[in-house]
A and B are shown apart, each in its own frame.
Chain A
Amino acid sequence: MKGMGLVGAGVAGTAAAAPIFKDLDDLTSYDTNTKVNGGTMFPWWVKERPTHDPTVDVDWSVLDYKKGVGNMNPDFIALLWKGAAAQFYKDNEQARRKRWAEGAKTNKNGWTYKDIAFGSGLTTARSIARTVIPLEGWASEKDPLMSQTHGEYITPEVYGAPKYQGDPETNLRMIRSLLHFLGITRVGVVEIDNTTKKLFDNYVQFADVDYARQSDTSLPTLENSTPIQVKLFPNKVKYAIVWPIRQNATVAQLAQAQEEDGIFKGFPPITGKMGVYGGYMAEPVVACQLTHCLNWLGFEAVWDRRLGRDLSGMNVCTTAWGILGGNGELGRYGCATSPLFGNLFRRNCVIFTDLPLKPTPPIDAGIAKFCNTCKICADRCPSGSISTDSTPSYDVNVFQEKRGGKTWGNTTEVEGRNINHPGIKAYRTDWQGCMEYGGPHDCGICMAQCPFSNDNDAPIHTFVRATVGSTTALNGFYANMEKLFGYGNKNNSPEDWWNRNLVTWEKDFLYQKPSGKLF
């Protein structure tokens, strides 16, 4: 009885001391997470930069996605379309099938049929998730941009509830709280203004409309495929919510070229690609949930993939939005690099909304400066497509048929055109060379090679990252140590991953690694 009394007193005391949440809003505003580290949700060594001023120089008078046929790089979509029809692409496909057949026949480590089945299964699931979920979930087949709000809509008014209102900081905390539940540990916001409007291509036009929808106007495309309908964006949509979908670090470490000769030379095992496929599969699920929530609150919400020429969507440079929102810095390999998980961004995801939000600035974790001396990704790129220069420049790569000895077919429209956006002082990836090699589909080696991509279990990584974020003095030393210690080497066995101890293994995740392990 005495024990029970003590327990009862303990429970009562705890209850009295614990915070009391009156409602959801009270819960989401419980702590001041948006104020911690200036709202970056990063450790102290990650500094904030001025708005629209990332660690690579951007000449905003030059950079304009409307000047090229839109995509992550001007004319890159045209290259993709051309490439898919080109003989070299078919040859690459045949070579891939040959590797798969040989791996399956010989039960080769990382290329067994179970690896092929798992990889292909995830890829198929990704395609279904990307197209079916949006159609069934919130968009109509006739108009992929139309959100549920404007179809069988449910808004606060339907329930007789007052229109949702919250200040920008509280709203950001609410979105972060929701996405954190889904495993997303970092969420940024970019304001859509005259500067960031340059990141939209010609197929997105702002107008005084009530909701985002497709217009009756179509514009031709460079690759002479079917003209694309112009998307009308309401002027009231002022914010882009950006969050990263990560790749699993352990399987990414398996994506190493393990063979020196033969048909497998220079290609990573299929097991190493699971994180890529899994990330793509998770993305639409998370996007669907966030979009629905915003719609229920009574706000517009358009997922970036809805702005593409088809439901796979490719017209928004999500890397640029992610970097401006502080999810990472532009790395040497040509995409975003996170201070906490390096190049293992499967994607920077973006949802455009009119919910008022507090913008988050770009960050400086010393990554861009570290890239100047490191060069590990470039050294290990099997196609030599990543720049090995020691200083960034405004120069861009230009498409030239047969530059790499491969035949693309009719390339009149793209010959001599830029395959990188002008206006960014950075290391520019030669996407032509990457594609001709078979990348990124058959490769992706650069992602796990970055020293920032290492998992965070050994405390020394945090020590190194904090130093890199504070001074450049040890950058060269750290890059050499990375090589000496064998990170990104060929020693990891895919078969070991299959046989991991499932009772103790904590490194599997669908969306992202749970928080608390990151730093």
Chain B
Amino acid sequence: MFFIGIIFAVAITALLFWIFTKGISVRWYEWILGILGIALLYFAVINFHGGLYEHTTQAAWMYLLILGIPALILLGIPAYFVYKRKG
């Protein structure tokens, strides 16, 4: 769980660094969707990890599926808009 947190922290820092250094414009609702997406993705991953650790494999994959897919959708929407604007 600790290392998952570290990985997420590094990834988020890198993402923010990239956004600000490249001067990419992100609208306020895209920030909200992105934050919600990252939070949900983190929740999915830590529950996936916890499920595996509990030896409940099916539950672990279900967490990844049920929480992870909405998380990717939430992240994908702002990413798509930003990409479209930039492109």
Contact = CB atoms under 8 A, between A and B. Distances in A.
Given A457-B50, A459-B43, A459-B46, A486 B59 contact: yes
B53 A457 contact: yes
Contacts of B55: 250, 253, 492, 496-497
B57 interface: yes
B21 interface: no
A489 B54 contact: no
Given A253-B54, A457-B50, 5 more contacts: A250-B55, A458-B50, A458-B51, A459-B43, A497-B55
A487 B47 CA distance: 14
A485 B53 contact: no
A250 B52 CA distance: 12
Interface string A487-510: 101011000110000000000000
9 contacts: A457-B53, A459-B43, A484-B62, A485-B56, A485-B58, A485-B62, A485-B63, A486-B56, A486-B59
Determine which residue in A250, A460, A491, A496 has the highest number of CB atoms from chain B within 10 A of its CB, and name it.
A460
Contacts of A492: 55-56
Given A485-B62, A486-B62, A459 B56 contact: no
Interface of B: 43, 46-47, 49-51, 53-60, 62-63
A485 B54 contact: no
Nearest to A457: B50
Nearest to A249: B54
A73 interface: no
Interface of A: 249-250, 253, 454-455, 457-460, 484-487, 489, 491-492, 496-497
A458 B46 CA distance: 7
Contact of A491 (B47, B53, B57, B62): B57
B35 to A, nearest CB: 19
Contacts of B63: 458, 460, 485
Contacts of A249: 54
Contact of A459 (B50, B57, B59, B62): B50
Contacts of B62: 484-486
A454 B54 contact: yes
Nearest to A496: B55
A249 B51 CA distance: 13
A249 B63 CA distance: 20
A253 B46 contact: no
A474 to B, nearest CB: 15
Given A457-B50, A458-B50, A459-B50, A485 B43 contact: no
Nearest to A492: B55
A487 B59 contact: yes
B50 A489 contact: no
Contacts of A496: 55
A100 B23 CA distance: 70
B52 to A, nearest CB: 9
A485 B57 CA distance: 9
B14 to A, nearest CB: 25
Contacts of B50: 457-460
A485 B46 CA distance: 16
A232 B51 CA distance: 51
A293 to B, nearest CB: 35
A213 B63 CA distance: 57
B43 A491 contact: no
A457 B43 CA distance: 13
Pick the 8 closest A-B CB pairs, nearest first: A458-B50, A486-B58, A457-B50, A485-B59, A455-B54, A457-B53, A458-B47, A485-B62
A441 to B, nearest CB: 25
A459 B43 CA distance: 8
Contacts of B43: 459-460
Contacts of A459: 43, 46-47, 50
Contacts of A485: 56, 58-59, 62-63
Contacts of A250: 54-55
A3 B9 CA distance: 32
Contacts of A455: 53-54
Given A484-B62, A485-B62, A460 B47 contact: yes
A491 B54 contact: no
Contacts of B58: 485-486, 489, 491
Contacts of A460: 43, 47, 50, 63
A486 B56 CA distance: 8
A250 B57 CA distance: 12
B73 to A, nearest CB: 19
A389 to B, nearest CB: 28
A455 B47 CA distance: 12
Contacts of B54: 249-250, 253, 454-455, 457-458
Nearest to B58: A486
Nearest to B54: A455
A253 B47 contact: no
A487 B51 CA distance: 10
B65 to A, nearest CB: 10
Determine which residue in A249, A458, A492 has the highest number of CB atoms from chain B within 10 A of its CB, and name it.
A458
Contacts of B47: 458-460
A460 B47 CA distance: 7
Contacts of A489: 58
A41 B53 CA distance: 25
Contacts of B53: 455, 457-458
A458 B50 CA distance: 4
Nearest to B62: A485
B48 to A, nearest CB: 8
